[in-house]
Amino acid sequence: MRNTINVSNGVNETQYKKIPLSDVMVTKKTNLFWGRKWKTPDIIMGIAIITIHLLAVFAPFTFTWDAFFVGYGRVMLCELFGITLSYHRNLTHHSFKLPKWLEYIFAYIGVLAFQGDPIFWVSTHRYHHQYVDTEKDPHSPIFGFWFSHMGWMFDSGYIIEKYQEGKNVEDLKSQKFYRFLNRTYAFHVLSFVALAYAVGGFTYLVWVVGVSTVYIHHATFLVNSVCHIWGNQTWDTGDLSKNNWWMALITFGEGWHNNHHAFEYSARQGLEWWQIDFGWYTIRFLERVGLATNVKLPTEAHKLKKSFVAHE
């Protein structure tokens, strides 16, 4: 099974640092904090992330069952319906279609996950697939674990330099709804924070904003980092993507990442019966009730083409 990417830039592999307990080599260096210019968006992002994590620190001192369940409800809505179903499988990969009214509802739930508006998120993820585990990948572990996990988010210059105007997301830019969310993203985030505080005070600020956002963020970030470092490869994708069962459990099925990179168009990522994929179960339910259409799955011919046996 493939765990490394061949390096062809003339530098001996012994000069590289291996990520612990893996065969993934850090082949590129980047200055995450020092030795680079911090732009205003980077400072704002840093303050926001630190604030969210500081709020979560107060969780043991502000616990109430209602705050816990409301926070957990937000995790379910934002991670499952907002990120997994909407941002990822529906908008990025067009794995299935929804009626516009439902597509927009799910996309707005994604906005409340605090991971950026749909245009930004979808553009970044499409570039990830286009340039997976190369220098132009937005968040590959070849730059190191921390960079792939969330370090890339604090360097807007890195993103702008590589991707300019996000020209790979014209399908969303052509729709007024997504342009509106792009222009007004900060308003929706701040309005949600204000609403949480108005309803439940500091306790809701800690649990519904802090704790749940930390979970939602790191669940997604771990797919970018862990699922390109640790796990197993079932398919010959030519990259570092891995299937990781425990990641699948905490991300509603997104942890079957090697499956996903082999068949990125597939609405189902847990391709085996035992591969738990709540994202797929939800899509299947929506299909049964007539709300999801054009649901895409890999054929046996597609699977054979991506198998290691076919490339021996």
pLDDT tens readout for residues 256-275: 999 999 999 999 999 999 99
Whether residue 190 has pLDDT greater than 50: yes
Structure token pair of residue 304:
């054979």
For residues 312 and 209, what is the distance between their CA atoms, to the nearest angstrom? 50
Confidence of residue 31 (pLDDT cuts 50, 70, 90): confident
Number of neighbours of residue 66 by Cβ within 10 angstroms: 12
Q: What is the pLDDT of residue 164?
A: 67
**Mean pLDDT value of segment 217-229:** 97
Structure token pair of residue 59:
């969780």
For residues 213 and 221, what is the distance between their CA atoms, to the nearest angstrom? 12
Comparing CA positions, the residue from 221, 243, 50 lying closest to residue 152 is 221
| 64-78 pLDDT tens trace | 999 999 999 999 999
**Mean pLDDT value of segment 207-224:** 98
Confidence of residue 33 (pLDDT cuts 50, 70, 90): confident
Residue 32 DSSP one-character state:
S
Residue 83 DSSP one-character state:
I
Q: How far is C-alpha 32 from the geometric centre of its chain's CA atoms?
A: 20
Q: Rounded to two decimals, what is the model's pTM?
A: 0.93
